[in-house]
Amino acid sequence: MRNILYLFILSLIVTNCSFEKVVRHHGVSFLEKKQKNLIINKTNKNEIIEILGKPSTQSKFNNDVWIYIERKQTQSQFKNLGKMKIYKNDVLILEIDNYGLLKKKDFYNVNDMKKIDIVKKTTEGNITKNSFIYDFMSSLRQKINDPLGVRAKKREEINQR
């Protein structure tokens, strides 16, 4: 009876395991192939949307900047306990002029992103005790700490004694 139970549990575990890798996909499929169809100074906004769909992110500067993303993750080896690992991370940045034509396109993959340097410097603030920002932030902190003004009233009572 015990052997049958062990055999049943073992068969349950084996049938639920899969040897194929699980792939999670996010963004535009086959971005690298599709971006080759985009021609600078010829392709317009409507054609871009027809080929790639709506952009993942849009921004407005002097020209429109559209950003498309493709990301694929898979589970890593058994020794890492199934943590997800990125094996494809493509980003396409398109710049469109005021007339709706593609002016510039930049394509980055995982290897290109490893070459990008990130600046480690930080900006130091020049907030002195006499500045408007300091006064505003300190009054805001005081209102957060004592929203009803109870502490201020107690201080006045103590000072009057």
- How does pLDDT run across 118-147, given as a tens digit for each residue? 677 777 766 565 667 777 777 777 777 776
What total of structural domains would you count in the chain? 1
- The torsion angles phi and psi of 49, rounded to 5 degrees, stand at -65, -35
Residue 33 lies in a domain: yes
Compute CA distances 11 → 15, 22, 50, 91, whole Å: 6, 21, 49, 44
Residue 73 lies in a domain: yes
Residue 152 lies in a domain: no
Mean pLDDT on 82-102:
85
CA 159 to CA 161: how far, in whole Å?
A: 6
The pLDDT score that the predictor gives to residue 133 is 73
The pLDDT score that the predictor gives to residue 51 is 92
Residue 60 lies in a domain: yes
Domain hosting residue 67, numbered range: 19-120
Residue 153 lies in a domain: no
The pLDDT score that the predictor gives to residue 79 is 56
Residue 140 lies in a domain: no
User: Would you place residue 72 in the very low, low, confident or very high pLDDT band (cuts 50, 70, 90)?
Assistant: confident
The pLDDT score that the predictor gives to residue 50 is 92
Return the H-helix or E-strand segment holding 60: strand 57-60
Residue 13 lies in a domain: no
The rounded percent of the chain whose pLDDT value lies above 70 is 68
Q: Spell out a b/e string for 64-101, using b for 16 or more CB atoms within 10 Å of the CB, else e.
A: bbbebebbbbeeeeeeeeeeeeeebbbbbbbbbeeeeb
Q: By C-alpha distance, which of 53, 57, 85 is closest to 71? A: 85
Tell me the whole-structure pTM to 2 decimals: 0.58
Residue 8 lies in a domain: no
Q: By C-alpha distance, which of 63, 53, 62 is closest to 101? A: 63
User: Would you place residue 13 in the very low, low, confident or very high pLDDT band (cuts 50, 70, 90)?
Assistant: low
